[in-house]
Amino acid sequence: MKCKHLILFTLIFGLLLCTCACTSAWISSLGSLIPVIQTAFGAVLTFVLALQGKTISESTAAAIQKVSEAVKSGLSEASALVNDFKASADQSILGKLTTVFTQVQTDLGSLLQAFSVTDQATATKFQQLVGLVVMAVESVLALIPAAKKAAATMSGAQLQHADAEAAALTAHHAKYLKESYNAVVNETTGSADVDGALETLPKFDA
């Protein structure tokens, strides 16, 4: 979990939060980030299934699949809520987003608890992949309260300016998440089984 890519990801997104958390209008641009999170999470399940019966037991794989369905459902719901917010900037949607992402965060914790393997290469790579998703979700959760507060205190002109900045910063964050994910996938372990599983995972375009 202490992979350098995850550490860099945390530092970069922390900086983005400081500048981007100034407007609730940022939530409308969240739609460009959620698909990246969905792809990164989808790779987790692909990785597990590729190692099922090898370094991952059938029972562990089944448990991961079950919890994964809840995570995927939550991310889909979050995407739908963002679309609702774009259509009508109802501040109550921010509360619903918080509820959905909080549940996703809980489900990701259950996912880590359900993962039980003895192979170190498998465990490390799984933690790295899930870690990227966990940090993205936690960072969004940290941002929403600040966005709600800003919506109640900023003027129209300030919000318009902040919206443009937020959209650019969110796009930058999505790009960095893609780069971090690609780095984790490209980093080999020396295990033929694990490295073979990594080769089956999707990669983002540079």
DSSP one-letter string for 4-32: HHHHHHHHHHHHHHHHHTT-GGGGGGGGG
**Whole-number pLDDT of residue 201:** 98
CA dist., res. 150 & res. 24, Å (int):
6
**Whole-number pLDDT of residue 163:** 65
Provide CB contacts within 8 A for 39, sequence distance 6+: 181, 202, 204
pTM of the model: 0.84
**Whole-number pLDDT of residue 146:** 63
**Whole-number pLDDT of residue 22:** 40
**Whole-number pLDDT of residue 21:** 41
Per-residue pLDDT of the chain (206 residues; tens, 9 = 90+): 445 555 555 544 544 444 444 445 576 678 888 999 999 999 999 999 999 999 999 999 999 999 999 999 999 999 999 888 888 878 788 889 999 999 999 999 999 999 999 999 999 999 999 999 998 898 788 777 766 666 666 677 776 776 666 666 677 778 888 999 999 999 999 999 999 999 999 999 96
The full set of domain ranges for the chain reads: 4-14+25-198
